Amino acid sequence: MASNSSSSTAQQRLRIIAGHLQKRPEDENASVAAQECKAEAPRSEPSSATPVPRRRQEIMKWNGWGYSDSRFLFTKKGQAEFTGKRYRLSGLILPSLKDWFEGTFGANLQHRSPATPSLNLSAVAPPNLNQPFVEDLKAAGLVVSHDPEDRVFRAHGHCLHEVFALREGRIGRVPDMVVWPSCHSDVEKIVELACKHNVCLIPYGGGTSVSSALECPREETRSIVSLDTSQMSNIHLKDVFIMRCTAVTLTLHIVSLTAGSETLHKASTPLCLSRNTFPVRLLNEHGYCTGHEPDSMEFSSLGGWVATRASGMKKNIYGNIEDLVVHIKMVTPRGVIEKSCLGPRMSTGPDIHHFILGSEGTLGVVTEVTLKIRPLPEYQKYGSVVFPNFQQGVACLREVARQRCAPASIRLMDNEQFQFGHALKPQVSSMFTSFLDGLKKFYITKFKGFDPQHLCVATLLFEGDRGKVLQHEKQVYDIAAKFGGLAAGEDNGQRGYMLTFVIAYLRDLGMDYYVIGESFETSVPWDRVLDLCRNVKERIVRECKERGVQFPPLPLSRVTQTYDAGACVYFYFAFNYRGLNDPVHVYEQVEHAAREEILANGGSLSHHHGVGKLRKEWMKESVSGVGLGMLKSVKEYVDPQNIFGNRNLL
Amino acid sequence: MASRALYSPRHPMLKKRDSFEDILEERRHSSDLRYALRCYTPTLYKGLVPCKASMLKSIVLQSDHLQYVIKQVSSESGDSTECVAEEASLILDEMAHRLQLSTVRFFVFTLSKAFKRLFRSVCVNEEGIQRLQQAVQEHPVVLLPSHRSYMDFLMMSYLLYMYDLPLPVIAAGMDFMSMKFVGEMLRMSGAFFIRRSFGGDKLYWAVFSEYVKTMLRNGYAPIEFFLEGTRSRTCKSLTPKTGLLNIVMEPFFKGELFDVNLVPVSISYERILEESLYARELLGIPKPKESTSGLLKARRVLSEDYGSMYVYFGHPVSVRSLTEGKITRSQYNLLPRCIPQKPSADTHEFLNDTAFRLVRIQEGNMVLKPWVLIATLLLQNPDGMDLSSLAEQTDWLRHLALAFGAFLDWPDHAACSEVISCSLALHRHLLSVSAGHVQLSVTDAPQVETTPEEAVFHQAVVVLSCASYRNQILHVFLRPALLAVAMQSANSNRKDDVYNCFNFLRNMFSSEFILCPGDSVQDFEEACYLLMKRGVLQVLEHEIVMSASGHSTLAFLSSVLDPFLQGYQVVSRYLCEETNENLTEKEFIPAVRNFALKLILAGRLKCYEALSSDLQKNALAAFLRLKAVMKVKVGDQVTLKVNKIAVNSLEDTLGKSDVISHQNSWWSSMAMFEIAI
For the segment A613-632, what is each residue's pLDDT rounded down to a tens digit?
999 999 999 999 999 999 99
Q: Report CB contact under 8 Å: B255, A621.
A: no
Phi/psi of residue B87, each to 5°?
-60, -45
Amino acid identity, position B129: I
Distance, CA of A344 to CA of A360 (rounded, Å): 24
Q: What residue ranges in B72-218 does DSSP mark as E strands?
A: 121-124, 141-145, 169-173, 191-194
Based on the fold, state whether residues B267 and B320 are members of the same structural domain.
yes
Q: Name the range with the highest mean pLDDT among B139-143, B153-157, B385-389.
A: B139-143
- Identify the pLDDT of residue B35: 87
Q: Give pLDDT, residue B528.
A: 94
Chain A residue with the nearest C-alpha to that of B330: A600
pTM of the predicted structure, to 2 decimals: 0.87
Tell me if residue B581 falls in helix, strand or coil.
Answer: coil
Query: What is the pLDDT of chain B when averaged over all its residues?
Result: 87
Q: Which of chain A's residues have a Cβ under 8 Å away from the Cβ of B333?
A: 602
Å between B76 CA and nearest CA of chain A:
27
Looking at the structure, do residues B133 and B258 belong to the same domain, yes or no? yes
CA A106 and chain centroid, separation? 29
Query: What is the CATH classification number for the domain harbouring B639?
Result: 1.10.10.10
The CA distance from B18 to B365, in Å, is 10
Residue that is last in its domain, among B403, B426, B444: B444
Closest-CA distance of chain B to residue A527, Å: 8
**Shortest alpha-carbon distance between residue A599 and chain B (Å):** 6
Alpha-carbon distance B329 to nearest alpha carbon in chain A (angstroms): 5
DSSP secondary structure, B521-564, as one string: HHHHHHHHHHHHHTTSEEE-SSBEEE-GGGHHHHHHHHHHHHHH
Contact map slice: B 204-263 vs A, CB within 8 A: 255-256, 258
Q: How far is B66 from chain A (nearest CA, A)?
A: 16
First to last CA, chain B: 37
Q: Which residue of A has its CA nearest to B320?
A: A539
Q: Across the strands, what pairs with A224?
A: A200
* Pick from A409, A316, A301: nearest CA to A361: A301
Q: Work out the average pLDDT over A10-29.
A: 42
Q: Which residues of A touch B337 (CB under 8 A)?
A: 527-528
What is the per-residue pLDDT for A524?
97
Among candidate residues B409, B429, B444, the one where a domain is terminated: B444
**Residues in Cβ contact with B598 at an 8 Å cutoff, skipping those fewer than 6 apart:** none
- Neighbouring CB atoms inside 10 A of B423's CB total 22
Q: What is the distance, to the nearest Å, from the Cα of residue B436 to the centroid of all Cα atoms in its chain?
A: 35
B49 close contact with A: CB closer than 8 A:
no
Q: Which residues of B78-87 are buried (b: 16+ CB within 10 A; e: fewer)?
A: eeeeeebbeb
Residue that terminates a domain, selected from B363, B386, B411: B363
* B457 part of a folded domain: no
A451 touches chain B (CB under 8 A): no
**Angstroms from A201 CA to nearest CA on chain B:** 37
- Whether residue B339 lies within 8 A of chain A, CB to CB, comes out as no
Kindly state whether A565 is in contact with chain B, defined as any CB-CB distance less than 8 angstroms.
no
Specify whether B427 is located in the same domain as B571: no
Could you say which of B328, B329, B337 has the minimum Cβ distance to residue A527? B337
Contact A528 B258 (CB under 8 A): no
- Residue-wise pLDDT for B589-598, tens only, equals 999 999 999 9
**Distance between CA atoms of B550 and A625, rounded to whole angstroms?**
57
Residue B100's CATH number:
3.40.1130.10
**Per the CB < 8 Å rule, is B329 touching A621?**
no
Kindly indicate the confidence band of residue A536, based on its pLDDT and cuts at 50, 70 and 90: very high
- Count contacts between A and B (CB, < 8 Å): 27
pLDDT band at A368 (very low <50, low <70, confident <90, very high): confident
pLDDT at B664: 46
Binding-face residues of A in 575-634 toward B, CB within 8 A: 599-602, 621
Taking alpha carbons only, the member of B183, B39, B144, B155 closest to residue B101 is B39
Tell me how far apart the alpha carbons of residues A256 and A278 are, in angstroms, rounded to a whole number: 17
How far apart, in Å, are the Cα atoms of B351 and each of A110, A619, B279, B607? Answer: 53, 29, 32, 36
d(CA A156, CA A173): 10
| CATH code: domain of residue B406 | 1.10.10
pLDDT tens by residue, B422-477: 999 999 888 888 888 898 887 665 556 678 888 888 889 999 999 999 999 999 99
Strand order through the sheet with A325-332: A235-236, A265-267, A365-371, A325-332, A335-337
Contacts of B64 in chain A (CB under 8 A): 527
Sort strands A251-258 and A325-332 into parallel, antiparallel or unpaired: unpaired
Residues of chain A neighbouring B253 (CB-CB closer than 8 A): none
3-state secondary structure of B307: coil
Q: Are residues B96 and B148 in the same domain?
A: yes
> Residue A179 and residue B390: Cα distance in Å, rounded?
95
- Distances in whole angstroms, Cα of residue B615 to Cα of each of A244, A533, B464, B596, B608: 85, 52, 11, 12, 11
Contact assessment for residue A602 and residue A535, using Cβ atoms and an 8 Å cutoff: no
∠ CA A484-A486-A487, rounded to 5°: 150
Comparing C-alpha atoms, which of A605, A550, A546, A554 is closest to residue A575? A554
Q: Which chain A residue has its CA at the smallest distance from B337's CA?
A: A527
Residue A588: what pLDDT? 95
Alpha-carbon distance of B674 to B364, in angstroms, equals 32
CB contact under 8 A, A600 and B336: no
A447: how many CB neighbours lie within 10 A of its CB? 8
Task: With respect to residue B662, please indicate whether it lies within any of the assigned structural domains.
Answer: no
Measured between CA atoms, the residue of chain B closest to residue A600 is B330
Selecting from B255, B336, B338 the residue whose C-beta is nearest the C-beta of A600 gives: B255
Q: Specify if B277 maps to a domain.
A: no
Chain centre to alpha carbon of residue A467: 31
B255:A531 CB<8 A: yes
Residues 509-538 of A with CB under 8 A from B: 525, 527-528, 531-532, 534-535, 538
* Same-domain pairing of B235 and B373: no
Residue B659 lies in a domain: no
Do B417 and B385 share a structural domain?
yes
Question: Coil, strand, or helix at residue A466?
Answer: helix
User: Among B64, B255, B338, whose Cβ lies nearest the Cβ of A602?
Assistant: B255
CB < 8 Å to B256, chain A = 531
For residue B632, report the phi and psi dihedrals to the nearest 5 degrees: -125, 135
Considering the domain architecture, whether residues B357 and B414 belong to the same structural domain is answered as no
Range of the domain at B338: 59-271+306-363
Per-residue pLDDT, B300: 67
Q: Is residue B428 part of a domain?
A: yes
Residues from chain B that touch A599, judged by Cβ atoms under 8 A, are 330
The residues of A that are catalytic are 570
Q: Give B382's contacts (C-beta < 8 A, 6+ positions apart).
A: B439, B440, B606, B663
Angle of helix B370-380 versus helix B452-489 axis, rounded to 10: 100
* Chain B residues in contact with A601 (beta carbon < 8 A): 255, 329
CB distance B330–A532 less than 8 Å? no
Q: What was the pLDDT predicted at A33? A: 30
Give the CA diameter of chain B. 85
A528, A529, A618, best to mutate vs chain B, most B CBs in 10 Å = A528
Q: What is the pLDDT, as a whole number, of residue A290?
A: 81
What is the C-alpha separation between B31 and A644, in angstroms, rounded? 84
Whether residue B588 is found in the same domain as residue B647: yes
B315-335 tens-digit pLDDT: 999 999 999 999 999 999 999
* pLDDT per residue as tens digits for the range B162-214: 999 999 999 988 776 666 677 888 888 899 999 877 777 899 999 999 999 99
pLDDT band at residue A213 using 50, 70 and 90 as cut-offs:
very high
For residue A263, the SS3 value is: strand
Task: Give the closest-approach CA distance of A579 to chain B in angstroms.
Answer: 27
pLDDT at B447: 58
| Number of separate domains in chain B | 3
Q: Do B255 and A539 touch (CB under 8 A)?
A: no
Examine the domain organization and report whether B70 and B178 are in the same domain.
Answer: yes
CA distances from A537 to A530, A555, A598 (A): 11, 6, 10
For residue B11, give the nearest of B516, B483, B404 by alpha carbon: B404
pLDDT score, position B414: 83
Q: Which of A534, A535, A600 sits opposite B330 (nearest CB)?
A: A600
Contact criterion met (CB below 8 Å) for B3 and B522: yes
CA angle B567, B568, B572 (to 5 degrees): 120
CB B172 within 8 A of CB B193: yes
Q: How high is the pLDDT of residue A222?
A: 96
Which of B330, B332, B335 has the most A C-beta neighbours within 10 Å, making it the best mutation to test the interface with A? B330
The separation between CA A420 and the C-alpha centre of its own chain, rounded to angstroms, equals 20
Mean pLDDT computed over every residue of chain A: 83
Cα separation values, B618 from B227, B511, B565, B621, Å = 18, 5, 12, 5
Are B226 and B244 in a shared domain? yes
For A313-364, what is each residue's pLDDT tens digit? Answer: 999 999 999 998 888 999 999 999 999 988 888 999 999 999 999 999 999 9
Q: Measured between CB atoms, which of B64, B256, B329 is closest to A600?
A: B329
| Percent of chain B predicted with pLDDT > 70 | 91
Position A277 confidence tier, pLDDT thresholds 50, 70, 90? very low
A478 touches chain B (CB under 8 A): no
Q: Which chain B residues are closer than 8 Å to A535 by Cβ?
A: 255, 258
CA distance B561 to B584: 29
Contacts of B338 in chain A (CB under 8 A): 527
B25 in a structural domain: no
Residue B669: count other Cβ atoms within 10 Å of its Cβ: 15
B601: pLDDT strictly greater than 80? yes
Examine the domain organization and report whether B374 and B332 are in the same domain.
Answer: no
Please check whether residues B376 and B234 belong to one and the same domain: no
pLDDT bracket for residue A239 (50, 70, 90): very low
pLDDT in tens, B648-672: 888 888 877 654 444 445 555 555 4
- Residue B536 falls within a domain, yes or no? no
pLDDT of residue B541: 87
Nearest to A602 among B258, B328, B333 (CB): B333
pLDDT in tens, A444-483: 777 777 888 899 999 999 999 999 999 999 999 999 999 9
Q: Do B336 and A621 touch (CB under 8 A)?
A: no
Please, is B389 exposed, middle or buried when counting C-beta atoms within 10 Å of its C-beta (0-12, 13-18, 19+)? middle
Domain-located, residue B432: yes
With a pLDDT cut of 90, the percent of chain B lying above it is 55
Q: Which amino acid is at B216?
A: L
pLDDT at A182: 86
Q: Using pLDDT thresholds of 50, 70 and 90, give the confidence band for residue A275.
A: very low
Partners of A478 in beta bridges? none
Average pLDDT for residues A480-497, to the nearest whole number?
Answer: 89
What's the per-residue H, E or C state across A500-557? HHHHHHHHHHHHCCCEEEEEEEEEEEHHHHHHHHHHHHHHHHHHHHHCCCCCCCEEEE
On whether the CB atoms of residues A380 and A463 are closer than 8 A, the answer is yes
User: What is the enclosing helix (H) or strand (E) of A251?
Assistant: strand A251-258
